[in-house]
Amino acid sequence: MGESVTDKQLVERVQHGDKKAFDLLVLKYQQRIINLVSRFVYNPSDAQDIAQEAFIKAYRALPNFRGESAFYTWMYRIAVNTAKNHLAVKSRRPLESAQDIDDVEQIEGDHTLRHQETPEHLLLRDEIQGTILNSIEALPEDLKAAITLREVEGLSYEDIAIAMNCPIGTVRSRIFRAREAIDKELKPLLEQ
Amino acid sequence: MNEQKREQLSALVDDELIHEASSAIDNLLEDDHAKEIWTRYHLIGDSLRGHLPERYENTADKVSMAIASEPTILAPKKKSSDLMKPVVGFAIAASVAAVAIFNVQQANQAPTAGQPEIVQSSIATNVASIASSQRVTQQDNQAQSPDTRLNRYLVNYNEYRVNTGVRGMPPHVRMVANDTVTTK
């Protein structure tokens, strides 16, 4: 993964005292980091907490970030280490009361518990994915191709322009119009 | 936020803004509506790439609140001396190379008749100052053998090296002159 010019600029701003610039990095990477942490920690609430802790650790460590790797690569390592530390601490924690033993019994039947905990969130995730896929299906072919090549295949505007045999400016406009159409359906869902 | 700025934001999400990136980030930081769009545009990409976690939640507000109580980062700037190190090193290396070439050429070439002085190189000031000590008149040149001039070069170079810290022969080593053996 190459270094993002935008990430580099945001990191430099944070390193020079602009805390708000770090918010943009969090907004950009939060879902990927939570998803990553979820591979180590199966409880969604724990995954959220660990992801937050990882972002705070990253903020504190940013003065030492020299940009030798991409910001996400660096953030990835912090998130994985935070998740592993969480598991290590959890495995060392002694059972202190009968209440804890009850908790363990409940957690062992955890699969049902987790799904009982978060039906609204699960529904929302499925709704988000369904809404986005339906919106893309409804797009004209040129917009659908442009957004798919960009978001799924990860091609640059230049490569998409070659693949679609059109100027780069047209690619930029098509991707923007595709996003506008998807966002029009997505925004009301998130505001519910 | 007008359509042009939203299109610019879309390109920023794709990391396809090079020259306009800084101004687009400025706009983004000042506009909460733009931040919401930034979040949703990234959410679209994460969803299409299968990066959405099991439970969707926007955690950025909580992180932002936690960071608000953290001290502001002020990363130290690089020292100017650190930045100048490569330049200084290159200048010294270039100066030494110039001196060496100049002196070797001088040692190998016989003086031209009618030439009042050996022309000094103006490559660098320090080269000129060293070279000024080596000015010889035409008469001297004619009188000196190549061995004498080579000896002078070695002595001059060793003095110069000590002043500039350039690696070479250690100062405690005695210079041995190359003398012509004459047999009678």
Of B2 and B115, which is predicted with more confidence? B2
Contacts with B, A 89-148, CB within 8 Å:
118, 121-122, 124-125, 128-129, 132, 136, 148
Query: What is the pLDDT confidence band of residue A25, given thresholds at 50, 70 and 90?
Result: very high
The two three-digit tokens of residue A130, written as one number: 């369904």
Residue A105: the pLDDT is: 37
CB-CB neighbors (< 8 A) of A39 in chain B: none
Quote the CA–CA distance of B54 and A117 in Å, as a whole number. Answer: 12
- Tens of pLDDT along A109-120? 343 334 444 566
Residue B181: the pLDDT is: 53
Q: Is residue B76 scored above 70 in pLDDT?
A: no
- Tens of pLDDT along B91-119? 677 777 777 777 777 766 655 544 444 44
HSE at residue A59, side-chain half, CA atoms within 13 A, is 29
Residue A184: the pLDDT is: 97
For residue B137, the cross-strand partners are B117
A156 with B62: Cβ contact below 8 A:
no
Q: Is residue A28 scored above 50 in pLDDT?
A: yes
CB A10, CB A21: distance < 8 Å: yes
CB-CB neighbors (< 8 A) of A15 in chain B: 73, 75
Other Cβ atoms less than 10 A from the Cβ of B5: the count is 16
Average pLDDT over residues B35-63: 92
Quote the CA–CA distance of B100 and A43 in Å, as a whole number. Answer: 72
Residue B50: the pLDDT is: 92
Q: How far does B156 lie from chain A, in Å, by closest CA? A: 45
Residue B117: the pLDDT is: 46
Quote the CA–CA distance of A27 and A15 in Å, as a whole number. Answer: 18
Greatest pairwise CA separation for chain A in angstroms: 69
b/e per residue B155-176 (b: at least 16 CB within 10 A) = ebbeebbeeeeeeeeeeeeeee
Question: For chain B, first and last CA: distance in Å?
Answer: 101
CB-CB neighbors (< 8 A) of A60 in chain B: 70
The two three-digit tokens of residue B34, written as one number: 């733009």
Average pLDDT over residues A2-28: 92
B54 with A125: Cβ contact below 8 A:
yes
* Residue B14 CA: distances (Å) to CA of B18, B52, B181: 11, 18, 79
Quote the CA–CA distance of B172 and A54 in Å, as a whole number. Answer: 59
Of A80 and A122, which is predicted with more confidence? A80
- Tens of pLDDT along B135-168? 444 455 555 676 777 777 777 766 666 556 555 5
Q: How is B93-147 classified by DSSP, letter by letter?
A: HHHHHHHHHHHHHHHHSPPPTT--BPPPP-S-HHHHHHHHTT--BHHHHHHS-HH
Q: Is residue B174 scored above 60 in pLDDT?
A: no
Quote the CA–CA distance of B20 and B25 in Å, as a whole number. Answer: 9
Quote the CA–CA distance of A29 and A73 in Å, as a whole number. Answer: 11
B51 with A16: Cβ contact below 8 A:
no
Nearest residue, CB atoms, B53 vs list A19, A47, A175: A47
Query: What is the pLDDT confidence band of residue A181, given thresholds at 50, 70 and 90?
Result: very high
The two three-digit tokens of residue B50, written as one number: 């299968």
User: How many secondary structure helices (H) and strands (E) does chain B include?
Assistant: 8, 0
B73 with A10: Cβ contact below 8 A:
no
Placement of tokens 């490559």 in the chain: B123
Helices (H), chain A: 5-15, 19-38, 44-61, 71-92, 98-108, 110-117, 119-137, 141-151, 157-164, 168-190
The two three-digit tokens of residue B38, written as one number: 């930034």
Average pLDDT over residues A157-173: 97
Quote the CA–CA distance of A70 and B177 in Å, as a whole number. Answer: 59
Backbone angles phi, psi at B137, to 5 degrees: -80, 165
Q: Is residue B73 scored above 80 in pLDDT?
A: no
Tallying the residues shown for chain B, one arrives at 184
Type of residue at B85: K
Estimate to the nearest angstrom the gap between the alpha carbon of B163 and the chain centroid: 23
Nearest one of A110, A136, A131 to A45, comparing CA atoms: A110
ipTM: 0.86
